[in-house]
Amino acid sequence: MYPTSSQHESVSQRRESPERSRRKKLRWDLAALIDLEAYQAADENEDRQKLKQRDRAFYLAESFNSAVDRGVVLRRWVESRREENREKNSGQISSSTGELTEEIWRKVRRWGGYGCILLGGLYTWGALNVTGRQVNVTLFWTVAVCLPLFLTVLGTLSLLNRKGRRGGGVIAPLLRDFALKKAQEAARLLRQRISSENAQRAEELHGLVRRYLAGHEGVLRVYTIHLGYSLSLGFAMGIVLAIVLFRLVSYQDYGWQTHTGWLTAERMHDIVEDVARPWSWIDGFGDGHGFPNLEQTEATRIYRNQPLLQPQPTASEAWSAFLLGSALGYVFFPRLFLFLIAGIRVRRIVSMEDFSKYDALWRRMTVATVEIAPPSPEEEVELPAGKQIRSVTEAEPPGISATESLLLLPSDNERLPDMERLRAGLIQEHSLDFGASEILPSLPSARRDLITQLAGREIHRIVLVQEVFQVPTDSLLKLLKAFRSEIRGVFLHIVLLGSGEIDENYRTAWNARLRSLGDARLLWHELVIPQENTTANLSGGGEA
C-alpha cells in the first residue's frame, strides 16, 4: 500500500528542496545495477523483519507519488543504501561495488582508448613513412580506410544479426563451453591452493558476478559494445591524427599504380572523385585540392621499373587531403556515430531494465506494515480482584424447619425443573426443605425491596438456586453481602443447578468467587437434575 495522505502532505512541503531536485536527477547506470544486485545479495541472509522495517521506513521517508515507477524507487533505494554504507564505514571505503566496477570500466575505456589512438597512429605512420619512393595511395587507402571500414561494417552487421544467431552456431558454443570448463578447472585448482576463508570470499564474489550476468545480460552486452566502439574510435582517431601530423611535419610524394589496362588515369580520377563526394562540396576542398584533379592523377601514376617521378607538391597535397578526408569520412565519423548510438543505447537499455524480479524488495517497501500493538502495561486497567479469604465455616444448627426456610429462584427460571422435582432433589441430596419460595428479581432496586421485606420475617435459611454455568458476577456477590448485612444470622445456601455433569471450570470459578466472601454461614452445593430423568444426583459441594 502507499503512504497515507498525511504522510504525503509532509512530503509535499519538501517537494522543492534542493535535495529533492538532486534525487530527480538519479539515473540508472551499470554501477547502480550492480549495487542493486549486490545489496540484494547482502540482504539474502538478513532477518526479514529488520529488512521490512528498513525498506518500509525508506519508502515512507521518501514519500513517493502513488503512481511512481518501480525503477525510480529502486534507484533511490540504491542511493540510500550507498549513503548508509558510507556512513557506516565512516569514509573508509567511499565506493560501493557497483561504483568500483564502473570506475574500473571507465578506466579501461579511457586507457584503452589512449592505447588505440597510439596504435592507430603508429599503424598509419608506418604506412606513410616510406623512404625512396612514393606512398602507394591504393595500398594505403586499402589498409587505413578500407580495412577499418570493412571491420566497422562487419561488426555492426554481426551485432544486428546477433539475435538471429543466438543459440545457434557451432563454434561459439563450443568455445564458450571449452572456456567455461577450463575456468571451472582453474577455479577448482585455485580453491585447493588458497585458504578456505579466501575461497569462500572468492565464491561469494563470483556468485555475485554470476547472478548479475544472469539477470542483466542485455545491459552487459551493450556496455561491452560501447567499450568496443570507444576503442575503435580511438584507433580511427589515431589514423586521422597521424595523417594530419604527417602533413604538418613531413613531406611525402603519393602515387598510384596498377597492372590492369582498364584502370586508366581518367577512370582512377572518376573513382577518386566519387569517393571524395562527401567533402568535395566544401569550399577549398574541390577538384585539385580536396582530391587530385585529372592532371594530378595522371602525373602521379607510378610504373614499375620506371625512374622516380619528379616531386609533385600540389598533387601530393591533394592526395594527402584525399586520404585525410577518407579517414575522416569513412572511418572516423562512422565510428563516432556508432559510438554515440551505443552511448544512447546504453542509457536506453539501462532505463528500460525490467525490475519486476525485485518483487520481494518492492513488496517490503510498498506493503504497509500492519501490526497489532498490545496495550502497554501502564495503559492496562487492572480491575480489583476478588479477595481470597478462607474463613472457618459454621455448621448449620439442626432443627431449622421448612417454614423458616425460603427458596429463591432466579427470574429467568423457565429452564429449571418443576418445583416438585426441585424440592425432591434438594431434600434427598442436601436435606434442604423449604416452606416458601420467591423469585429473585434481577434489578437492584427490586432486590433491595425484597431484602428489606425478608429482613422483617422469621427466616433462618435462604436457599438460592443458580444455574451452574452462570458465572458469579459482582452483582451476585453484592446480593449475598446485602443478605448478610440485613439478615445477619441467616444461613445462605447456594444450589448450583446443572442438568448433566458439571464442568470443572465452572466449579473452580464458583468456588473461587464464593470463598472470596469469607462468609462462615455461606454454603454451596451442586445439584444435578437431568432434563429427562426425575432422579436427582449429588455431585459435590463447598463451603466458605
Partner 1 sequence: MKIPAFVVAGQPNDGKTTVVSTLTEDDQMKISPIPGSTRMCRGYSMRVDGLDKVIIYDTPGFQNTGAVLEWTREHSREFVNPAQAFIDQPEHREEFPDDCEVLRPIAEGAAVIMVVNPALPVMQDNRYQAEIFRLCGATRVGLLNMRAGAQPQYLDDWTDLLKKEMNTWQKFDACEAVFTDRVELLKVFATATPEWKEQMDEVIVLLEASWRERLAQVAEGATRRLRSIVRYRTTETVSSDGESELLKQRLEKRVCDEVRKIEEDFRSEICRIFRHSQNHWQGGAELDVDIFSADVWELFGMSKNGLIIASALTGAGAGALIDVATGGTSLGLAALIGGAIGGVSAFMAAGSAVQMELPELRLGPLRIPRKKIGGQSVKAGIQRRSKLPGILLDRMVAYAEDAASWAHGRRGTEPTLSAERRNRSFCNELEQSPHQSEAGKLQALVELWYRTRESSVFIAGDQQQAIQESERWLTDRIERRLRERTMGKG
Question: Any idea of the CA torsion for 107, 112, 114, 118, to the nearest 10 degrees?
Answer: 160
Pick from 410, 518, 541, 542: which binds partner 1 (CB under 8 A)? 410
- Burial of 467-484, coded b for 16+ CB within 10 Å and e otherwise, reads bbeeebeeebbebbebbb
Place of cell 455448621: 395
Distance, C-alpha 248 to centroid of its chain: 60
* Residue 363 interacting with partner 1 (CB under 8 A): yes
* Residue 11 interacting with partner 1 (CB under 8 A): no
Nearer to partner 1 among residue 130 and residue 416 (C-beta): 416
Hey, which residues between 154 and 173 contact partner 1 (CB under 8 A)?
Answer: none
Distances (CA, A) of 198 to 194, 212, 286: 6, 21, 67
* Residue 183 interacting with partner 1 (CB under 8 A): yes
Residue pair 287/321 in contact by the 8 Å Cβ criterion: no
Residue 301: strand, helix, or coil: strand
Pick from 351, 411, 485, 533: which binds partner 1 (CB under 8 A)? 411
* Residue 106 interacting with partner 1 (CB under 8 A): no
Nearer to partner 1 among residue 46 and residue 274 (C-beta): 46
Min dist CB 69 to partner 1, Å, is 19
Which of 425, 427, 424, 449 minimizes the C-alpha distance to 439? 449
Binding mask 195-214 for partner 1 (x = CB under 8 A): -------xx--xx--xx-xx
Hey, which residues between 460 and 489 contact partner 1 (CB under 8 A)?
Answer: 469-475, 478
In whole angstroms, give the CA distance from residue 389 to residue 481: 14
Binding mask 44-63 for partner 1 (x = CB under 8 A): x---xx------x---x---
Min dist CB 303 to partner 1, Å, is 59
Nearer to partner 1 among residue 248 and residue 385 (C-beta): 385
**How many residues contact partner 1, by CB under 8 A?**
70
In whole angstroms, give the CA distance from residue 450 to residue 200: 87
* Residue 354 interacting with partner 1 (CB under 8 A): no
Residues 6+ apart with CB under 8 A from 171: none
In whole angstroms, give the CA distance from residue 495 to residue 484: 17
Pick from 161, 184, 401, 453: which binds partner 1 (CB under 8 A)? 184
What burial class does residue 29 get, using C-beta atoms within 10 Å of its C-beta: 0-12 exposed, 13-18 middle, 19+ buried? buried
Nearer to partner 1 among residue 256 and residue 510 (C-beta): 510
List residues near partner 1 by CB under 8 A: 1, 3-4, 7, 44, 48-49, 56, 60, 176, 180, 183-184, 187-188, 191, 202-203, 206-207, 210-211, 213-215, 217, 357, 359-360, 363-364, 367-375, 379-385, 410-412, 415, 442-445, 447, 469-475, 478, 505-506, 508-509, 512-513
